[in-house]
Amino acid sequence: MSGTGVRRPRRRGRSASSSRWLQRQHRDPLVRRAKEQGYRARSVYKLEEIDRRFRLLRRGATVLDLGAAPGSWSQYAAGRGCRVVAVDLLPMRSVEGVRFLRGDFLEEKTRARLHRMLGGGCDLVLSDLAPDATGRRTVDRLRAEAAAEAVLAFASSVLRPGGALVLKLLHGADTLVTGMARPLFGRCKLVRPAATRSGSTEIYLVGLDFRGGPAGAETGGEGNGG
């Protein structure tokens, strides 16, 4: 899913890396399966596995999907009977049962609008977002770490007691963020779903039974409880 990074100008032609990506997509059985089942991305199977293991998505629950585009996680959550609020920097085609906000989650004005859209809070925060990669390992780790901390802080301001969090992390950022999450949740688990690509360094933090309390300075400002 998309992240929160700066847009890049389009280039003419196709780079070697994009050609390799397209070839990999054509060979990937999960890409074909997602198309056959009407999902917009293969990443849906990561959420499906996490949901099957932890039973997170329950009919009538309110779910916040961060970094939602192209929308497969929102599709899955709505299909499970959840009320979904989704946000992404990129546009996303509408999904029945999903309210979508286009904006940069890392901007305060976007987070304030999300508070208003959620009203009384939510039961589950999903985050598959990640900043655009620069190719510099230390820089990418620090950016991913900062984004994950922002998600954790925001989640702590909107989750209802007993709520849950699914947060994508990159290797190297997991230790610090998991340590920050442990006091906020009854249980924290690190999960690498089977659908994760073999060369990926991503892992998911699953926080269960939210206890309440802040993680960082996020308070929701004027939008809280609107």
CA atoms within 13 A on the CB side of 198: 2
Rounded distance between C-alpha atoms, residue 2 and residue 6, angstroms = 11
Sheet arrangement for strand 98-102: 98-102, 83-88, 62-66, 122-127, 159-170, 202-210, 185-191
Among this protein's residues, is 168 annotated catalytic? yes
Rounded distance between C-alpha atoms, residue 36 and residue 180, angstroms = 39
In single-letter form, the type of residue at position 140 comes to D
Dihedral over Cα of 56, 62, 68, 72: its sign: positive
Length of the chain: 226
Give the active site residue among 35, 46, 109, 168.
Answer: 168
Pairing relation of β-strands 83-88 and 202-210?
Answer: unpaired
The three-class DSSP label of residue 217 is coil
Q: Just list the catalytic residues.
A: 168
